[in-house]
Amino acid sequence: MASMLSSLAFVICVLSFLALTPQAAPATAPFLFPEAQSAVLPDPSTYFAPNLLSSPLPTSSFFQNFVLHNGDQPEYIHPYITRSANSSLSFAYPSFSYTSTVVSTSPFEADLTIFASNSNRNGHHVVSDFNDLSVTLDFPSSNLRFYLVRGSPFLTCFVYRPTSVSISTDHTIVSASSASGSNTKFIVKLNNDQTWLVYTSLPTELTDSGSSTLTLKEFSGVVRFAVMPDPDPKSEGILDHFSSCYPVSGAAVLENSNTLSYKFEKIGGDLLMLAHPLHLKLLSNATVLQDFKYKSIDGDLIGVVGDSWVLAPKPIPVTWNSVGGVKKDSFPEIISALRRDVDALSSTQSTTSSSYFYGKLVARAARLALIAEEVAFPDVIPVIRTFLREKIEPWLDGTFSGNGFLHDNKWGGLVTKSSTADPGADFGFGLYSDHHFHLGYFIYGISVLAKIDPAWGEKYKPQAYSLMEDFLNKDKQSNPNYPRLRTFDLYKLHSWAGGLTEFADGRNQESTSEAVNAYYAASLMGKAYNDAQLEATGSLLTTLEIQAAQMWWHVREGGESQIYEQDFAKENRVVGVLWATKRDSGLWFATAEAREIRLGIQILPVLPVTEVLFSDAGFANELVNWALPALSRTGVTEGWKGFVFALQGMYDKEGALEKIRSLKEFDDGNSRSNLLWWIHSR
């Protein structure tokens, strides 16, 4: 045990040294928008250790609930749902319920709760460390530290001073015994049919303290907890074999445009972790234990042996224009629409001050410029260029009277003027909600303008990069004013949109297609500025976001992933809002019956990359047939119809073209020109 503690101390010292080692400063300081004075942001100092407060902090992370309000809402640290409250940590191996409208985990009941027996239990946890795949929770008043590493079948507790540690449950303990008299492994059976294994780094006694509570008296060392995933003795043997090696943190490395690596810091021998279905689809180098699995809302989690993983998604084309091109005999119809849409720009007034809707306005006009390039009609580009300059510059130089971007030093990121006093303004942008959605539209417009007007692009490059790095900052060396990858979850491999809002169901995201747009736009910005690294990073995240959307948001009845049960899969072809612990058919702003909106919010904006997001024409046909009956409802707008018809063009070009020609109105981020370009590029 002494050697184990020495090893742990060495690892912690090395990590601390690396964290404190001065890094080379960038050649020029990144652009900073004016400082914000926000009245709505929470204070991060309550739950983050003091040494972490000097750097930007995560605002859409997998552990966000741990640092908001009372810090006692649960988070999903696969395969367990984990809750911290009253100087204790509780965890549950969840079961799931399925209806035709919702998939959800069972209400939280603590299968096990760990706390110091003599603690007054009035304290709270402190986040002492975090990384892409892990968070460390300390309970200073209890001498307990928990290494919560995502995908670990074990929950690991380090008791760093001799302490009596209590283990309680919301259920009834049926039995608790030492395994084979070892006094380093204990088997705890509960009346909910669960069997938990408890491993200790030193021999000790586990005594019954009554009231469904067990106690390790005056213990110091490492305690690990794992639920038996099934009754098979082979599973218990696997847990026994890997119980002495534990991870203390996990980081992800974005190496190039088609490789993402996981590096787990561990103590001990061979490391056992769990991979979700998308991991398994992309994993290229690890030993997989196919018969060792835990259930999760994201599909079965399968055992993987190794402290280094390589995930290699197939790269997708990130192009300015359509992949297949537009036939010349279609040019006249598109050009005719372009004339009308560009002429209308001169009379377009900025009636919105919303960062979201304003961004869509900018991106819509930028699409017209690229369509004009593709159909060889440069005559309209000067008008579009002028429009984009006039609309974008006030947001970059701070002269837009209705709103604007500011920099928040408390958490490290952008907020809008409107959202510093009103938490609901700009859809919660001031609480870091939806940043990739809003900024993705701006970045798309800026990238196109930089392409068609390089001199303008160079002038405003610092501001442009500041917007992009708010949500796509690779590391502190790139920009020390923003956290790493604000919205992208490097374990789940998709984004979250919830920001600094506490949710009982954890993080959430509604529109995958707008998330795709954000990383796609960033990749285009890399093209516009000849920044190969940005282009590659944007491309990789675009690829992962698309594959995650196809895995979890696109619902295929009887599909290869078999993630969703029959009741839900039969009634749904897309998830409305995907939460960490729930799948909802409804939307934030529409009911489940509005199928055209549920589909449209997973399509918009229509871009060249959309054909990759919906590359399966057969599934596109299923989606359209599922949504079409909803178009007969009273009050359905033509803007949402346009997205259904666009998807129809994936397999029925002529039928979709006829419907699109009949439309009189379009979504505020869409246009007749864009839909005609889309159909004629099929």
- Contact in structure between 173 and 226 (CB atoms under 8 Å): no
- Contact in structure between 575 and 280 (CB atoms under 8 Å): no
Among 138, 434, 453, 667, which one carries the catalytic annotation? 434
Sheet of 508-509, strands arranged across: 96-98, 102-105, 582-584, 577-579, 508-509
The predicted model gives 293-304 an average pLDDT of 97
285 — pLDDT class (breaks 50, 70, 90): confident
Residue 24 has pLDDT above 50, yes or no: no
Residue 514 among the catalytic residues: yes
- Contact in structure between 250 and 488 (CB atoms under 8 Å): no
Q: What Å distances lie between residue 335 and 326, 449, 660, 676, CA to CA?
A: 12, 20, 16, 10
CATH topology assigned to domain 50-250: Beta-galactosidase; Chain A, domain 5 (2.70.98)
Among 307, 374, 510, 667, which one carries the catalytic annotation? 510
Better-scored residue on pLDDT, 583 or 17: 583
pLDDT score at 559: 58
Return the minimum-mean-pLDDT range out of 189-203, 341-355, 402-416, 483-497.
341-355
Q: Which helix (H) or strand (E) holds 442?
A: helix 435-452
495-516 confidence digits (pLDDT tens):
999 999 999 999 999 999 999 9
What's the rounded Cα separation, in Å, for the pair 432 and 41? 9
Ramachandran region of residue 427, left (φ > 0), alpha (ψ -120 to 50) or beta? left
227-275 confidence digits (pLDDT tens):
999 999 999 999 999 999 999 999 999 977 789 999 999 999 999 999 9
Among 514, 545, 596, 652, which one carries the catalytic annotation? 514
Return the minimum-mean-pLDDT range out of 127-141, 390-404, 551-565.
551-565
Q: 4-10 — which CB contacts under 8 Å span 24+ positions? A: 4/201, 4/221, 4/222, 4/267, 4/268, 5/221, 7/267, 8/158, 8/248, 8/267
Residue 111 has pLDDT above 60, yes or no: yes
The whole-chain average pLDDT of the chain stands at 94
Sheet of 259-267, strands arranged across: 246-256, 259-267, 308-311
Q: Domain boundaries in the chain?
A: 50-250, 328-681
* CATH class of domain segment(s) 328-681: mainly alpha
18 — pLDDT class (breaks 50, 70, 90): very low
Burial class (CB in 10 A: 0-12, 13-18, 19+), 161: exposed
| Residue whose tokens read 């229509």 | 606
467-501 confidence digits (pLDDT tens):
999 999 998 888 999 999 999 999 999 999 999 99
376-427 confidence digits (pLDDT tens):
999 999 999 999 999 999 999 999 999 999 999 999 999 999 999 999 999 9
What's the rounded Cα separation, in Å, for the pair 38 and 43? 11
Residue 236 among the catalytic residues: no
Residue 28 has pLDDT above 90, yes or no: no
27 — pLDDT class (breaks 50, 70, 90): low
Residue 35 among the catalytic residues: no
Return the minimum-mean-pLDDT range out of 342-346, 440-444, 454-458, 622-626.
342-346
Return the minimum-mean-pLDDT range out of 22-26, 263-267, 307-311, 573-577.
22-26
307-339 confidence digits (pLDDT tens):
999 999 998 889 999 999 999 999 999 999 999
561 — pLDDT class (breaks 50, 70, 90): low
- In 3D space, the residue among 378, 470, 487, 366 whose CA is nearest the CA of residue 434 turns out to be 487
Question: In sequence order, what are the residues at sequence separation of 6 or more whose Cβ sits closer than 8 angstroms to the Cβ of residue 369?
Answer: 380, 381, 384, 385, 388, 448, 452
